[in-house]
Amino acid sequence: MGNISAYAWNFGANATPSSASTKGPHTVTYSAGGNKSVSLTITTLTGNIQKTKNLLVQNDAKLIPAFSYAAAEKGIVSFTNQSNNPSSSIWYFGDGDSSLAANPTHQYAFSGVYPVKLITQNTCNTDDTLRNITFAYLNFGASKSSVCINEPVFYVDSSTNATAWQWSFPNGTPASATGKGPHKVTYSTSGNQSAALQVSVSGSSNQSYPRNSVVSVGTDTFTKASFIYGYYGKNIVGFDNQSGGSGMSYKWYFGDGDSSTLKNPVHTYTNASNKIVKLVVTGNCNTDDTTITMRDFTGIEGINSGVLFSVSPNPAKDQFKVVTDIQLPLTYSIFDISGKAVANGKTSNGEFISTQNLADGIYTLKLSFGDESTALKLIVQH
């Protein structure tokens, strides 16, 4: 057909553009579905020629496939279909498995990079998208499921493909940690304890794994053996038991063949110098021991309890202190002239004891150290 001088297109209702005046081809979109009447009129030397065709526009939009994913623990990955208005979908997870679910959750056996393909369709078209996903196989555990108060538990990461670690231990000491671990944690209160691990993955978003009741902490306290000693002179050594735990019993080995089951024994040696002393403590949770090698006491003169302690000032106004060579905690009791206990507590060398609540008068001050004790005269004058 020659000598065409003009083109007049009408693309029908809801079209963009609605018309055109060149030969084309023309790209047209419709904002609403339905039957559209499309016409073309051409002008020639002999007159106009018009043709009309009907076009059915589906109510669906053209499908553009897309998806996102979120990885959790133990290879579990959740997929979200972000395609516009799909009527059906099929997923290929890259490990040989597939799914027809709209938004499936899939568990992989291993961490790594997997090519995931999504094929979607509606009444307009079928399309697909392929995307490589990467994630860590996130998992962790504890060295023990049941512990005592203050008993160490170690949290161990068994994740693969992780590049950074952020731990949370509510109620624990420490309360958080970084790095793969293992991490040592203790709890000062009983009950079920939770923990959480967040890992970073190269080329992907962070993954988190919160776990409830990872460790059950009982009501007993973990046994920890500890003691200090003080030299009383004349090869006499007092031992102050500072162990912690529940339901404890004690066994001392003094290093000279003798032993004791007292909590705070005082032991007389033939020669106390450089003796290796061991304390074994058995509690409800466990048994623990500790060993100390004592110093050389050569040249230290023997003293007796009458010289070992003194009270300063005496008379005392508002307070007094006990002066002693013993480097162990002391237990004191103050008795009035009738023998009634009017005050008690713990003290150590040079620590002041208040007399503000005591009336003027003469008192007896009883001092105990280990399983030994002595009495001194105390005068109070306000």
pLDDT in tens, 280-289: 999 999 999 9
What is the span of the domain harbouring residue 257? 227-293
Asked whether residue 79 is assigned to any structural domain, the reply reads yes
CATH number at residue 343: 2.60.40.3080
Asked if the structure places residue 300 within a domain, the reply is no
Q: Are residues 309 and 376 in the same domain?
A: yes
Q: Is residue 62 part of a domain?
A: no
Do residue 214 and residue 233 come from a single domain?
A: no
Q: 31, 57, 83 — which closes off a domain?
A: 57
- Alpha helix stretches (DSSP H) within the chain: 305-308
Please give the order of strands across the beta sheet that includes 372-380: 341-347, 330-335, 361-369, 372-380
User: 85-138: per-residue pLDDT in tens?
Assistant: 898 999 999 999 999 999 999 999 999 899 999 999 988 889 999 999 999 999
Domain boundary residue, one of 163, 191, 218: 218
Is residue 315 reached through a cis peptide bond, with omega within 30 degrees of 0 on the bond before it? yes
Domain boundary among 135, 153, 175: 135
pLDDT in tens, 215-273: 999 999 999 999 998 887 788 888 889 999 999 999 999 999 999 999 989 899 999 99
How far lies 256's CA from each of 252, 259, 268, 277, in Å? 11, 9, 10, 9
Q: How far apart are CA 351 and CA 159, in angstroms?
A: 55
User: Is the CB of residue 140 less than 8 Å from the CB of residue 159?
Assistant: yes
The span from the CA of 82 to the CA of 118, in Å, is: 10
Query: What are the pLDDT digits (tens) for 261-280?
Result: 999 898 999 999 999 999 99
Instruction: Note whether residue 214 is domain-resident.
Output: yes
Question: What pLDDT score was predicted for residue 304?
Answer: 45
Give the whole-angstrom CA distance, residue 172 versus residue 191: 12
Whether 299 is in a domain gets the answer no
Name the CA dihedral angle for 194, 199, 205, 207, rounded to a multiple of 10 degrees: -30
Whether residues 35 and 84 fall in one domain: no
Q: In angstroms, rounded to a whole number, what is the distance separating the alpha carbons of residues 322 and 341?
A: 18
For 18, left (φ over 0), alpha (ψ -120 to 50), or beta? alpha
334/368 same-domain check? yes
- pLDDT confidence tier of residue 300, bands split at 50, 70 and 90: low
Tell me, yes or no, whether 231 and 213 share the same domain.
no
- In this structure, the answer to whether residues 39 and 96 fall within a common structural domain is no
For residues 61 and 80, what is the distance between their CA atoms, to the nearest angstrom? 19
* Chain-centroid distance, C-alpha 348: 39
Answer yes or no: do 154 and 172 share one domain.
Answer: yes
Q: What is the CATH number of the domain that holds 210?
A: 2.60.40.10
Task: Report d(CA 229, CA 294) in Å as an integer.
Answer: 8
Which positions ≥6 away from 183 have C-beta within 8 Å?
Answer: 154, 155, 167, 169, 174, 177
Asked whether residue 256 is domain-assigned, the answer is: yes
At 1, the pLDDT band (50, 70, 90 cuts) reads: low
Does residue 126 form part of some domain? yes
With contact defined as beta carbons under 8 Å apart, do 225 and 243 qualify?
yes
- Determine the Cα–Cα distance for residues 320 and 311; give it in Å rounded to an integer: 7
Q: Are residues 123 and 154 part of one domain?
A: no
Same domain, residue pair 49 and 82 = no
Q: Do residue 362 and residue 313 come from a single domain?
A: yes
Phi-psi region of 165 (alpha: psi -120 to 50; beta: other; left: phi over 0): beta
Q: What mean pLDDT value characterizes the chain?
A: 91
Tally of domains within the chain: 5
- Asked if the structure places residue 250 within a domain, the reply is yes
User: Are 192 and 153 in the same domain?
Assistant: yes
Residues 6+ apart with CB under 8 A from 81: 67, 89, 102, 103, 118, 120
* Pair 376, 309 in one domain: yes
Sheet holding 172-173, edge to edge: 140-142, 153-157, 183-187, 172-173
CA distance 247 to 245: 7
